[in-house]
Amino acid sequence: MSRPAPHVLLLGGTTEARELAAAVHAADGSAGAWRVTSSLAGRVARPRLPAGEVRVGGFGGASGLALWLREHAVDAVIDATHPFAETISGNAARAAAASHVPLLVLRRPGWVPVPGDRWHPVDSLAEAAAQLPALGRRVFLTTGRTGLATFADLTDTWFLVRSVDPPEPPHPPRMTVLLERGPFTVDGERELLRRHRVDVLVTKDSGARATAAKLTAAREEGVPVVVVRRPPVPAGVPQVADVAGALAWLAGRATAADTGGPTADTGGPTADG
């Protein structure tokens, strides 16, 4: 009797996670193939669903995730969450280490400035808020609806806030909300900057293709950009930059799973219990 396909849990919520789920799911049934379950946090009202099995909602911290890995006989975990989803990445590292399940981080590269860019790198949203009064009074804020409280004290500043779902208070008192989801075009972003007379843009360094057009538009319009740097990936966890790298890692793991179970190579922190 043939063994069931090994099971990979894919922590998602990104374009790359959806692309990886589609590729793994398409190969299901072939030799060395994996069964894939994607996990979404459930933050977005109408998420774009990945191919294959999908579960939605938190696990209950690192210990809850470790339990889920055991109960669902998970052979490998790929953390393909957003570069700023720091808590789930830390939880994945602890849960995988505690469960002796191999873990890979799939993190797309960050954006790189080019000549003409006027970037102001900062380490946090709070630092971005502190810099804004010196840079402009009409701000295009593209850091998402969470974290708006950080800008709530800037009463002299007008914000154009773009998010997928409506923001909730606390938020800046002077604000216009654009409910939109990428991909965005350079022409569209340039038109937005001009129409709203934006004099400074704030973004996280997500590195996403779908939202990079605003950086080109800002450069062309001479608009300064406050770029929030990424938090680090948990120490010791292997990392790849694209879907092809993740597929190659899985191919190696399929062999390990076939020959008596995978080996842990998380090297990450220990479980929080």
User: What residues make contact with ligand NAP under the rule CB under 6 A?
Assistant: 11-14, 39-41, 43, 58-61, 64-65, 81-82, 84-88, 91, 144, 204
**Cβ proximity to ligand NAP, 32 vs 269, nearer residue:** 269
Cross-strand partners of 56: 40
**Cβ proximity to ligand NAP, 43 vs 137, nearer residue:** 43
Nearest Cα neighbor of 142 from 187, 201, 101 is: 201
Q: Give 156's DSSP letter.
A: T
**Cβ proximity to ligand NAP, 83 vs 102, nearer residue:** 83
- What is the smallest separation between the CB atom of 41 and ligand NAP, expressed in angstroms? 4
- What is the smallest separation between the CB atom of 260 and ligand NAP, expressed in angstroms? 29
- What is the smallest separation between the CB atom of 34 and ligand NAP, expressed in angstroms? 18
**Cβ proximity to ligand NAP, 146 vs 263, nearer residue:** 146
**Cβ proximity to ligand NAP, 146 vs 176, nearer residue:** 146
Which amino acid is present at 79?
Answer: D
Q: Give 30's DSSP letter.
A: S
- Give the Cα separation of 40 and 250 in Å (integer): 20
Contact 165, 177 (CB under 8 A): no
**Cβ proximity to ligand NAP, 58 vs 133, nearer residue:** 58
Q: Which residue is nearest to ligand NAP (CB)?
A: 58
- Give the Cα separation of 21 and 31 in Å (integer): 17
- Give the Cα separation of 147 and 170 in Å (integer): 9
The number of helix segments (H) and strand segments (E) in the chain equals: 7, 12
Q: Give 198's DSSP letter.
A: -
What is the three-class DSSP state of 103? strand
- What is the smallest separation between the CB atom of 150 and ligand NAP, expressed in angstroms? 13
- What is the smallest separation between the CB atom of 152 and ligand NAP, expressed in angstroms? 18
- What is the smallest separation between the CB atom of 141 and ligand NAP, expressed in angstroms? 13
